[in-house]
Amino acid sequence: MKIKDFQESEIRNKILSKANPQEINKNGKHWKGYIYSNNVLVSKVKIPNDHNRIMHQSKSQYIANDLKLTEDEFNQFIECSYTLENFQEKMKSLV
């Protein structure tokens, strides 16, 4: 299944609440979030700006890749059926 079209603000909110980046670099045009598992950096992700514009599949794919999520997992991550606990387990498996 392809990644669905989501609003940038919706993706931003889910990254901040579910991926829970421990460090956020707010310099530059876009924020960068650093996600750790057991004190090991497992991912660096671009955090979209707080816009109501739609982020289409082609751009969302980069964020999904940064979060180490498949297309289906990314859709679930944004639509709420993929929980914080699911995401943390996935990150632990990468360490």
**Residue range 62-80, pLDDT digits in tens:** 999 999 999 999 999 999 8
For residues 23 and 63, what is the distance between their CA atoms, to the nearest angstrom? 17
* pTM: predicted TM-score of the whole model, two decimal places: 0.87
Can you tell me which residue has the tokens 């421990």? 22
Beta strands 40-47; 54-55: pairing state: unpaired
User: Token pair for residue 9?
Assistant: 């603000």
**Residue range 32-53, pLDDT digits in tens:** 999 998 899 999 999 999 989 9
